[in-house]
Amino acid sequence: MLSLPVFLFASLIKTVLVLFILLTAVAYTVWLERKVVGHMQNRWGPTRVGPFGLLQPLADGAKFLLKEDLTPPHVYKPLFIAAPMIAVVCALSSIAVVPFGTSLPIFGHNIPMQITDVNTGVLVILGITSVGVYGVALAGWSSNSKYSLLGGLRASAQMVSYEICLGLSLVGVLIVSGSFSLSEIVKAQGGLFWGFLPKWNILYGGQFIAFFIYLMAAYAETNRIPFDLPEAETELVAGYHTEYSAMKFAMFFMAEYANMITVACLATLLFLGGWHGPVFGPPLLQALLPTFWFVAKVFVFLFIYIWVRGTLPRFRYDQLMAFGWKFLFPLAIANLVVTALIVAYRA
């Protein structure tokens, strides 16, 4: 157990570090997306700024910062300003409970690779995600624009609906691992079964259906293709952030990608065994390898995200709702019941 000053100091350092990494990751996820989608569509993507366009995110950031921050007339100003902040804060804060790896021995202190280990970590992430809806909804409403309002309405309805499926898909994992704590859940997935297969929840826990549901719900939660109805360009211009510009727009942008990363992290932790992977080599490598595996899995998940975006068309809104309520929801409940029966049988 750490003493209070050390705890506070370590937490501060970790927070700053994680925020930096996260924001960088957000920036380069954007770059990655542009690059991958570009290649999928037989073009190059960003190439001009830096080698392979690697400095493009910096240039974008500078552009956002320097652009005129236009506030249209007839908006409800307090909420118009607050909405992007709510969005970005909720998106960033959920990373706080995510463990990136096992603990690191630093200066004699065993510092966990996690800002805080809450024993209801999963629920905290769910709670913060659910509050994140306000950002989108309020942005849509306060803009005093029809496109924005429709986008906000769509977003809030869609997110509330899919949140249920998301939560239910997680419950199966929670039953298998018997804990709400993310680090506990990851620890439970260590080791192999049948000699060669990792004891990940998606395999050993039999949660592949839950993973599928989670994948779908996550796409909807983050308003990504094929569920990007709230910002459907062809119908709603840009949905809830039609009226936003400059840094406020950037905040929504950041929030979206941060949410993607959070969702990818959660998927990794819950289904894909977290930081578990082959560990070898010298002690320093041994300490860093779990984090590598974690990042690698998140990357794979994000790549799938982008891949899907480059491949699938958009759903119609009624199809979206029908898919959520009439297919995913019963499936999630069935998965829950089956999982509970299996666990009860094993126990």
Under the rule (CB under 8 A), what is the footprint of another protein?
Answer: 76, 79, 119-120, 123-124, 126-131, 133-134, 137-138, 140-141, 149, 152-153, 156-157, 159-160, 163, 167, 180
Given the complex with another protein, which of 21 and 79 has the nearer CB atom? 79
Shortest distance, CB of residue 152 to another protein, whole angstroms? 6
Shortest distance, CB of residue 345 to another protein, whole angstroms? 18
- The answer to whether residues 231 and 143 touch, using CB atoms and an 8 Å cutoff, is no
Q: State the DSSP H helix or E strand holding residue 110, giving kind and residue range, or none if neither.
A: strand 109-111
Given the complex with another protein, which of 102 and 129 has the nearer CB atom? 129
Angstrom distance (rounded) from CA 344 to CA 339: 8
Angstrom distance (rounded) from CA 6 to CA 112: 13
Shortest distance, CB of residue 239 to another protein, whole angstroms? 14
Q: What type of residue is 20?
A: F
Tell me which residue of 275, 273, 265 sits closest to 104, measured CA to CA.
275
Shortest distance, CB of residue 303 to another protein, whole angstroms? 29
Shortest distance, CB of residue 136 to another protein, whole angstroms? 10
In whole angstroms, what separates CA 203 from the centre of its chain? 22
Shortest distance, CB of residue 155 to another protein, whole angstroms? 10
- The answer to whether residues 267 and 214 touch, using CB atoms and an 8 Å cutoff, is yes
Given the complex with another protein, which of 64 and 329 has the nearer CB atom? 329
Given the complex with another protein, which of 129 and 201 has the nearer CB atom? 129
Given the complex with another protein, which of 63 and 77 has the nearer CB atom? 77
- The answer to whether residues 333 and 340 touch, using CB atoms and an 8 Å cutoff, is no
Given the complex with another protein, which of 60 and 163 has the nearer CB atom? 163
- The answer to whether residues 87 and 26 touch, using CB atoms and an 8 Å cutoff, is no
Sequence-ordered alpha helix ranges (H) in the chain: 4-40, 56-66, 77-93, 121-142, 146-177, 182-188, 208-221, 233-236, 246-270, 283-311, 317-322, 329-346
Shortest distance, CB of residue 240 to another protein, whole angstroms? 11
By three-state DSSP, how is residue 145 classified?
A: coil
| Phi, psi for residue 331 in degrees, rounded to 5 | -65, -45
Shortest distance, CB of residue 51 to another protein, whole angstroms? 43
Given the complex with another protein, which of 129 and 268 has the nearer CB atom? 129
Angstrom distance (rounded) from CA 88 to CA 132: 8
- The answer to whether residues 205 and 272 touch, using CB atoms and an 8 Å cutoff, is no
Given the complex with another protein, which of 101 and 140 has the nearer CB atom? 140
